[in-house]
């Protein structure tokens, strides 16, 4: 569910779902359509970190240098988008042959698959929003923009690695001719203008729980698009999605290693943060997606991803269970009362989510045959959800 609230066009509030009001006072006014993110309800004490907790991150700097930075890949050992794309530096005939081959491989990809791939690519393209989120976190932000703390080094190099994902998928889709690039570019511009609200605020405990979850979610989803691309006869696209998935896996290892360390040095603080993030639910990074036409674009894209099995509610529960095991949360002892309650909540959450999902699936099945939605990304072709 989304909520409509009123705001003026101050740049930070400028929103893309904008229903413009005529003759507003001084500046254009818009209705903002905000997602129902419960982050706003999170206790104020959890939104920022007290100084002694900020100090934890300072004291972990040499640990981060030894344990987090090695999970980055040097530029010279990284793949680059050009390796997967027609080479424009060769003679024109050979270049066009490679473009033809790409268009041939992608000609039979189903529309549903393209919608999911486009949605994933657009999510990657909103990278500036994610770097900004990490650089809001107390104790780990890149204070100068070229800071030498391991946290800042990680964030910049992580961004640089991630930047290849959207670039490659976007160019590949552009050359395929199967998708409406103008509508895709508009969606990216809208999404970057909207930002995201994940509820992590300035709290790095929240931030790293969120990124652990998200990197695993993208690993799962790119892994599934790789499998589908292979099944549908495009081995190059399968390799592309697989290479992206393997970056996401490495990033997941780094972020979940940081949370593992927080669980070790501050078990109650970490457990409370994990509990709070799960109570708020992990908001998907592109939840404010909009193309200028469909106010429920993200929900519709998610429904197609769910139907294709690229990213499902079951995956959400699987990721949660994976992280509970990864951080050995069930075995944590000596917690404060609050943290123990958070532990009980988190460790019992996945089965409850699965039960709710079964009911939601039943409802979705009944709707499936009757609901068709047009996707601007594929030239307004209609898909059944």
Instruction: Confirm whether residue 162 is marked as ligand binding.
Output: yes
Helix axes 204-231 and 297-308, enclosed angle (nearest 10): 60
What span, in angstroms and rounded, lies between the C-alpha atoms of 157 and 73? Answer: 9
Half-sphere exposure in the Cβ direction for 325 (13 Å, CA): 7
Closer residue to Fe ion, CB minimum distance, 29 or 323: 323
165 catalytic? Reply is yes
106 catalytic? Reply is no
Tokens for 115?
């919608």
Which of these, 106, 340, 316, lies nearest to 218 by C-alpha position?
Answer: 316
162 catalytic? Reply is yes
Closer residue to Fe ion, CB minimum distance, 15 or 200: 200
216 belongs to the binding site for Fe ion (CB under 5 A): no
Whole-angstrom Cα Rg for the chain: 22
Closer residue to Fe ion, CB minimum distance, 180 or 247: 247
Q: Which of 138, 162, 167, 294 is catalytic?
A: 162
Judged by CB under 5 A, the residue of 142, 234, 248, 315 near Fe ion is: 248
143 catalytic? Reply is no
96 catalytic? Reply is no
125 belongs to the binding site for Fe ion (CB under 5 A): no
Task: Please report, as residue ranges, which positions from 129 to 188 form the binding site for Fe ion (by CB under 5 A).
Answer: 162, 165
Closer residue to Fe ion, CB minimum distance, 18 or 119: 119
What span, in angstroms and rounded, lies between the C-alpha atoms of 333 and 313? Answer: 30
Q: Which of 79, 171, 266, 318 is catalytic?
A: 79
Distances (CA, A) of 103 to 53, 87, 300, 382: 53, 15, 26, 22
In this chain, which residue has its C-beta nearest to Fe ion?
Answer: 165
Task: Please report, as residue ranges, which positions from 251 to 280 form the binding site for Fe ion (by CB under 5 A).
Answer: 251
CB of 377 within 8 A of CB of 187?
Answer: yes
Which residue is associated with the tokens 């509970």? 324
- The residues annotated as belonging to the active site are 79, 124, 162, 165, 215, 218, 247-248, 251
**Residue numbers of the site for Fe ion (CB under 5 A)?**
124, 162, 165, 215, 218, 248, 251
């Amino acid at each position: 569910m989304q909520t409509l609230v009123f705001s003026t066009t101050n740049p930070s509030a400028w929103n893309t779902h904008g229903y413009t009001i005529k003759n507003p006072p001084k500046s254009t006014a818009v209705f903002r359509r905000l997602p129902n993110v419960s982050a706003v309800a999170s206790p104020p004490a959890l939104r920022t970190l007290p100084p002694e907790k900020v100090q934890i991150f300072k004291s972990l700097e040499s640990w981060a240098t030894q344990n987090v930075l090695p999970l980055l890949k040097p530029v010279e050992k990284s793949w680059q988008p050009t390796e997967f794309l027609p080479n424009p530096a060769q003679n024109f005939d050979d270049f066009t042959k490679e473009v033809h081959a790409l268009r041939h491989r992608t000609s039979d990809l189903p529309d549903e698959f393209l919608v999911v791939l486009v949605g994933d690519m657009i999510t990657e393209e909103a990278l500036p929003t994610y770097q900004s989120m990490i650089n809001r976190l107390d104790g780990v932000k890149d204070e100068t923009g070229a800071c030498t703390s391991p946290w800042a080094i990680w964030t910049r190099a992580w961004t640089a690695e991630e930047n290849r994902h959207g670039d490659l998928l976007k160019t590949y889709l552009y050359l395929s001719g199967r998708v409406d690039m103008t509508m895709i570019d508009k969606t990216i511009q809208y999404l970057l203008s909207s930002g995201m609200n994940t509820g992590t605020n300035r709290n790095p405990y929240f931030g790293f729980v969120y990124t652990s979850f998200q990197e695993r979610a993208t690993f799962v989803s790119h892994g599934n698009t790789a499998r589908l691309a292979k099944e549908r006869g495009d081995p190059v696209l399968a390799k592309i999605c697989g290479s992206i998935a393997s970056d996401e896996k490495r990033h997941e290892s780094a972020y979940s290693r940081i949370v593992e360390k927080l669980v070790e040095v501050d078990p109650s603080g970490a457990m409370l943060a994990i509990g709070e993030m799960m109570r708020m639910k992990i908001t998907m990074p592109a939840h404010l997606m909009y193309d200028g036409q469909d106010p429920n674009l993200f929900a519709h894209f998610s429904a197609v991803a769910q139907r294709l099995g690229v990213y499902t509610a079951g995956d959400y529960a699987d990721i949660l269970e994976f992280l509970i095991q990864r951080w050995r949360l069930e075995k944590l002892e000596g917690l404060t009362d609050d943290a123990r309650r958070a532990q009980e909540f988190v460790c019992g959450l996945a089965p409850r989510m699965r039960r709710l999902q079964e009911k939601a699936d039943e409802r979705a099945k009944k709707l499936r045959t009757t609901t068709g939605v047009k996707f601007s990304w594929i030239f307004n072709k209609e898909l059944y959800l």
